[in-house]
Amino acid sequence: MASSAKETNGTFKGPICYKLSKKSWSEVITGGECDLLTSSAASPNIDHFTCKVTRPYLTGTVPHSLVIDITHVLDHKWAFIVDLATFCQGNNHLWAVSEQIRKENNRLYAEISVSPTMYQHFLQDPTLHLENFSESFMAYPSFSPSANILKLSLNKLPHQYVRQDGDAQLRADMHLSLDQFGKLIDCGYVTGGSGIYAGGGYAVLAVKHGKHAAKAPVPAHHHNTKSKSDAKPQINATTATVDIPVCKHCQQPGHKMTTHRACLMNLKNIQKQTQSDEDTFMDHSEFSADRSTDHTFDASTV
């Protein structure tokens, strides 16, 4: 809703501080505020500029665990645990709570293990209502302990993505551009607190290979991926968290050399060829040395 800059007496009231109003406008339009909206059904609420994620994308310390944001209840930890146990009917559904508090983007998470029944319940509805807390919690599944999670901040997305059903095209384009690097977990466009879209978005990938890190899963020089829309725009993709394996031989992400048979065989062939070349070189060097010695001997004789 817009309001007039004039007071009731007709006197024009200008902005108090140009820089402040300019900054506020930029934050509202580009999504720099903390209160963000997204097209994703998973509602990760991600700021594509600073990668502040309120929907966690954490790997678990054990398989099939859940993570719950407890940032604002650290002073009531005991009440939280008691209410959580009550909600889960004790060890009928609450099997364990990790002693280690998880952290991501300045937020703290409790990791819990629950029964398969309760796990499926939270997959369908992540909302967790506890008796002594006015605000509800969100329980999200963690990812496999062996998974490498990569978050991409996207800029200059086509504006047609924000139209009705445009997120379907966005997901299709992200699959087309990013499937070669891993499994697409989630993607979407983001808006500021006003709901205004400014071309920003995000994508989250899971790569389940190795522990080697790459500088980026997108072209190293420009960090761009192409979206095949009608206008074929160029999308800027910046990595926020990178842990992608890179083959030491072919320099391609997504696998290690030891698990890439073709690369391993090529490396062995190269090593054999190198050894063969070295042997040939040594033989040639010895032969040349013999000829040189003979030539020197002949010259001195003359």
Residue ranges of domains in the chain: 66-141, 148-241
| pLDDT score for 190 | 77
203 contact partners, CB below 8 Å, separation of at least 6 = 151, 152, 154, 174, 178, 184, 186, 187, 237
Amino acid of residue 90: G
251 contact partners, CB below 8 Å, separation of at least 6 = none
Residue range 226-250, pLDDT digits in tens = 444 444 555 566 555 444 455 555 5
Pick the residue with more confidence: 39 or 187? 187
The per-type count for the chain, helices as H runs and strands as E runs, is 5, 12
Residues 78, 209: Cα–Cα separation, whole Å? 38
Q: Which of 55-59, 136-140, 262-266 has the lowest mean pLDDT?
A: 262-266
pLDDT tier for residue 81 given thresholds of 50, 70 and 90: very high
Confidence check: pLDDT of 108 > 50: yes
Q: Which of 97-101, 125-129, 230-234 has the lowest mean pLDDT?
A: 230-234
SS3 297: helix
Residues 38, 162: Cα–Cα separation, whole Å? 10
| pLDDT score for 203 | 86
pLDDT tier for residue 148 given thresholds of 50, 70 and 90: confident
| pLDDT score for 296 | 32
pLDDT tier for residue 82 given thresholds of 50, 70 and 90: very high
Residues 293, 189: Cα–Cα separation, whole Å? 76
Half-sphere exposure of residue 216: CA atoms within 13 angstroms, side-chain side: 15
148-241: CATH architecture: 2-Layer Sandwich (3.30)
For CA atoms 121, 122, 124, 125, the dihedral sign is positive
Residues 28, 39: Cα–Cα separation, whole Å? 17
Residues 115, 88: Cα–Cα separation, whole Å? 9
3-state secondary structure 226-250: ECCCCCCCEEEEEEEECCCCECCCC
Confidence check: pLDDT of 83 > 90: yes
Residue range 265-282, pLDDT digits in tens = 665 655 565 555 555 545
Name the residue with tokens 């004789």: 301
Pick the residue with more confidence: 143 or 212? 143
Distances (CA, A) of 138 to 116, 191, 284: 18, 21, 73
Q: Which of 147, 142, 73 is nearest to 104 (CA)?
A: 142
| pLDDT score for 272 | 61
For the chain, give the percent of residues with pLDDT over 90: 21
Contact 209, 259 (CB under 8 A): yes
Start-to-end CA span in the chain (Å):
108
Q: Which of 134-143, 156-165, 167-176, 275-284 has the lowest mean pLDDT?
A: 275-284
SS3 81: helix
